[in-house]
Amino acid sequence: MRIVISRTSVRVGLLATAVTGLLGLAATGCGGDGDEEPADKTWAGTQLCGGDAVSAQASKALKVIMGTSRFGTTAEKSTVARAATNLVAAFPAATGGRDDVCRIYTAGGKADFAIRVTWGLYGDSPTETPAPEFTVLNMGERTLAAANRASVRFECRSDKFPNSTNEAAHVGIGVERWGTPTEPEGDTEALKDAYATVAHSFSLAMAKELGCEKNGGLPEKPVLDPA
């Protein structure tokens, strides 16, 4: 069942129980050792990744992407708060890659795929031309949405960063289908909106956790109209 989202307002460790197929290849976690969730423990979308990371709207968007409203996550310590601590420790150097915030599975680890949420630090605002499959959205420095992933880049000035009065952090949050690449199934535009909504929710949660001025320029609700 498709939800309607307003287009204007709008580590380590393996799973405790083996996950079949491609998830067995992609289930490396991002939390502490021995910290994985039991296979039979399930969460509502708004409880994922430490809570406060997934809004009610983003929880509905996850259902569009994954076809369920009950989920499992990689590890209890895989949270926005922990990722924010690691991000501040990495600043000001650009990370040159992405680190996990958390990973999301369907309940019981029976998903055909996982959703991977990542963070990164960049040296400056984005200037590269997006690939054709992306739609550019007007959130933060730049938001890109496709039918299997989305990313939000935003500038953050915060007294939590060393030398914060002199330099802003350029933060990126990514949300993507994790596993063997396949063609997206379903309504492409609805999937783009759903991924963008989840990416916005995690980005706003990160901006608030970091104490960014004006929430890094991010709106309280996702803006899904093309820029």
Quickly state the pLDDT bin for 39 (edges 50, 70, 90). Answer: very low
In whole angstroms, how far apart are CA 63 and each of 42, 46, 57, 66, 72?
14, 12, 10, 5, 13
Percent of the chain with pLDDT over 70: 77
What integer pLDDT is reported at residue 198 of this predicted model? 98
Is residue 146 over pLDDT 70?
yes
Torsion of CA 10, 102, 180, 143, to 10 degrees: 30
Beta-carbon neighbour count of residue 217 at 10 Å? 14
Cβ pair 126, 153 in contact under 8 A: yes
Separation between Cα atoms, residue 113 and residue 182, nearest integer Å: 10
3-state secondary structure of 45: helix
The model's pLDDT over 48-72, given as tens digits with 9 standing for 90+, comes to 998 899 999 999 999 999 888 888 7
pLDDT of residue 36: 42
- 165-207 pLDDT, tens digit per residue, is 678 999 999 999 987 666 777 789 999 999 999 999 999 999 9
- The CA distance from 16 to 37, in Å, is 7
pLDDT per position as a tens digit, 18-34? 333 333 333 333 333 33
3-state secondary structure of 9: coil
N- to C-terminal Cα separation, the chain: 27
91: phi then psi, degrees, rounded to nearest 5: -60, 140
Cα separation, 73 vs 75, in Å, equals: 6
Tell me the β-bridge partners of 155.
Answer: 170
| Average pLDDT value for residue range 138-165 | 92
The pLDDT value recorded for residue 9 is 39
User: Over the chain, what is the mean pLDDT?
Assistant: 81
